Amino acid sequence: MANSTYKAKEFKLSGLKGISDETLKMHFGLYEGYVKNTNLLNEQIAEMIRNKEASGKDPAYAELTRRLGFEFGGMVLHEYYFENLAAKGKGSPSADFKRAVDQCFDRVEAAFRNAAQEAATSPEPGAHAVTSPVEARLHAMGHAYLRLMAKRELLLFQMQAYAACSDDDVRRKVKLRWDRLMKVAGEISGASADALTAFFARGMLMNVLASIGMVPEKSPEKWGHEVLGFG
């Protein structure tokens, strides 16, 4: 990833119904900015790796990887979005796609529920400097999510579901399941609104890293602690 150079793709999408050419021009500019920043951050990270300065405990490196996740995610999601647009397009995601959205969120919800229950019944005193039952549950839920990410197909589909939200039916489905997942996570963890927001923000960063293949299939939890400083 750190050695990759990306080039902005060209999309010929003028004359779309419902999206003006002016709006498209604005989004193309944003997309090109994401590509430029992704390449710049990759160069900076590669330099730190060459100098043996790459560590999740180093604030500068951690900030670069955080920003890379944001910029790369913006680039990829814009590409997904543009690739799903077409003049006079009449396509709509299938019923199978919508069922797959439910299955995707079901797996994440089940992983969170199981992790929170295990943290409540089998706490690990002192593990990873956890200081409260709420933090212990969130920590366990984060580990459960890391384990899901080792097989990144789930996360890739989740990203595709977000990209497909230009379709009204898909957007309603994804919003319904997202709202439910947020509610469930809050109920089972007991976390405050701020803590829950930070938890899901980190999860979205992890989605991007999983999408680009940075999460190893073996020992994903160890990777999360050592490389990203999670825990």
In whole angstroms, give the CA distance from residue 94 to residue 104.
15
Query: Which pLDDT value is given to residue 2?
Result: 47
Say if CB 221 and CB 85 are below 8 A apart: no
The region, left, alpha or beta by phi > 0 then psi within -120 to 50, assigned to residue 121 is alpha
Below-50 pLDDT ranges, the chain: 1-2, 125-126
Sequence-distant (6+) residues with CB within 8 A of 48 are 54, 58, 60, 61, 64
CA contacts within 13 A on the Cβ side of 165? 16
Which residue has tokens 């969170």? 112
Query: Which pLDDT value is given to residue 226?
Result: 61
Closest to 64 measured CA to CA, from 53, 75, 74? 53
In whole angstroms, give the CA distance from residue 70 to residue 98.
27
In whole angstroms, give the CA distance from residue 20 to residue 12.
13
Amino acid in position 109? E
Q: What are the sequence ranges of the domains in the chain?
A: 1-91, 96-231
Phi, psi of 214 (to 5 degrees): -90, -10
Q: What is the DSSP letter of 127?
A: G
Query: Which pLDDT value is given to residue 126?
Result: 46
Buried b (16+ CB within 10 A) or exposed e, 10-39: ebebeeeeeeeeeebeeebeebeebbebbb
